[in-house]
Structure 1
Amino acid sequence: MLGKGIEFVYLFLILGWNCGKAKKDLQSEVSDQELFWGADQYDFAIVLPASDAECFWHFSHHGEYFYLNFMVQWVTGVGANRHLSVTVNAPSGLIVGTADDVTGEIAFNAKETGFYQMCFSNFHNRFGSMQVFMNFGVYYQDSGDSNEDENMKQLNSTLDTIDDSSNKLQSSVFHMWRYYAVGRMRKAADYYLLLSNLNYVSTWSTVLSLVIILAGYLQLYFLKRLFNTKQTTETEKPRC
């Protein structure tokens, strides 16, 4: 028994060292990209320069529910396109989700264990940058592949009933958190839209006020020149 325990500890240490080495190798390969390892949910905003792209990596296990929500909050430049191109790649390199819109959602059940890559591209705008708010993460959902006999046993067991209720409550809280994040996206987008409209109205109001004042001054100036007369003398009289 002691020998098996030592062997188990040895295998555990080797496995942990290999996982740590694989993680460091992956971080060195994608040094210019952001890795997310550990937490289940993230939400933040980034600014994408013109014709630029940025990628993020998130670790997910097999069977977990992977989701990504995004929304373009503001875009600079004249005649800028608000559409954002988004792709999600599996650890094997396969594309598991795409979107090309102002706001969107990509969700699926993870079939592989590893880092899923999320790339955001602003190739629609060659001269304008955009701010994107994103919310992504993973959640484990029970598959529910149990037969009727097991379901009856769970109903008859108080502990299993409490566990099932807790899982349902956790799922409800998770989805409410997602709706809250989407609500924050929309609120921020509306705020930036109102701020942009305020700056637009204020700027053009100031410019038009200056134009009106300048036009009134020029009109008075030229009108006054029409009534200017020279003082005449006996030797110098006005000519017809």
Structure 2
Amino acid sequence: MLCWIPCFFLGFLFWGSAHGVPQTNARPDVTDQELFWGSDQYDFAIVLPAAGLECFWHFAHRGERFYLNFMVQWVMGVGHDRHLSVTVNTPSDLLLSTVDDAKGQINFEAAESGFYQMCFSNFHNRFGSMQVSLSFGVYYDTYQDPSKSEEEEKKKEEISKELNNTLSVIETTTHKVETYVFHMFRHYGFSRMRKSVDYFLLQSNSKYITWWSMALSLLIVTSGYLQLLFLKSLFVNNTGTEGEKPRC
């Protein structure tokens, strides 16, 4: 009987280690392709099916600026409603912002660290799909290195005073230029979205005009042929004598 106690104790330890491992993945039900990390800019397009819903998660630290730009490029199917429902939720599953339009921009400062959820719903089109261009990411308004402590900052200030603040001025100016370049590319991406929307609109109008022109041409030819048959049926051909002419 006593020999079963160590075995039972070891089995209990193995069971606890298998079921008591701390969870390192923030979203275990989400694949790695749907999670985005880092302070980078993401720019791509997705296709939403009829009444479809697509969600993405992006990690942001507290104090960072989170931005999201979206624009509907084309709509196919029945209805052709270009409205897109967009919602952004905080890591604590609270609704932070919502937009219901064909294009929009969302920009806010992250109040807490964690994964922010972005959902795009095409419930306006029950029988049509749409392509949406997305651009989102995080950035800092002012440069701040989170890896440096306050003591290092004080030492840096003392050293910079001795060096006439030359290095500090160069570093601050460099990061300001990087921030301005980042915003320039961000606005350039949004203007590129508009250009792609105009291109798809022109292509759609060209196809629309081409098909309607072909349909009207076919209608004109068909109506002319039917009129010719109708006029021909008004004349009676008498083949009895050669001297008689066709009469109406």
TM-score (norm 1): 0.79
1:32 Cα deviation from its structure 2 partner: 9.7
Q: Which residues of 2 match residues 15-164 of structure 1 at below 5 A?
A: 21-23=23-25, 26=27, 28-31=28-31, 34-38=34-38, 40-142=40-142, 156-164=164-172
1:171 Cα deviation from its structure 2 partner: 0.8
CA RMSD of aligned residues (A): 2.5
Counterpart check, 1:222 vs 2:230: yes
1:176 Cα deviation from its structure 2 partner: 0.4
Superposition misfits of 4+ residues, deviation over 3 angstroms = 152-156
Question: 5+ residue gaps in structure 2?
Answer: 1-20, 145-156, 242-248
CA distance in 1 between partners of 2:99 and 2:110 (Å):
18
2:39 touches 2:139 (CA, 8 Å); kept in 1? no
1:154 touches 1:160 (CA, 8 Å); kept in 2? no
The letter of the residue matching 1:68 is L
CA distance in 2 between partners of 1:116 and 1:222 (Å):
71
CA distance in 2 between partners of 1:133 and 1:87 (Å):
16
Give per-residue Cα distances to partners, 1:34-59, cap 9 Å, x unaligned. 11124611011111111111000111
CA distance in 2 between partners of 1:126 and 1:154 (Å):
68
SS at match of 2:233: helix
Counterpart check, 1:174 vs 2:182: yes
CA distance in 1 between partners of 2:186 and 2:31 (Å):
29
2:143 touches 2:175 (CA, 8 Å); kept in 1? no
Q: How many aligned residue pairs are there?
A: 208
Give per-residue Cα distances to partners, 1:186-229, cap 9 Å, x unaligned. 01000000000000000000000000000011111111121231
Question: 5+ residue gaps in structure 1?
Answer: 1-16, 145-149, 234-240
CA distance in 1 between partners of 2:100 and 2:24 (Å):
33
Percent of aligned positions that are identical: 61
Alignment partner, residue 10 of structure 1: none
Alignment partner, residue 17 of structure 2: none
C-alpha change, 1:137 and 1:94, in structure 2 (3 Å) is same
CA distance in 2 between partners of 1:137 and 1:86 (Å):
16
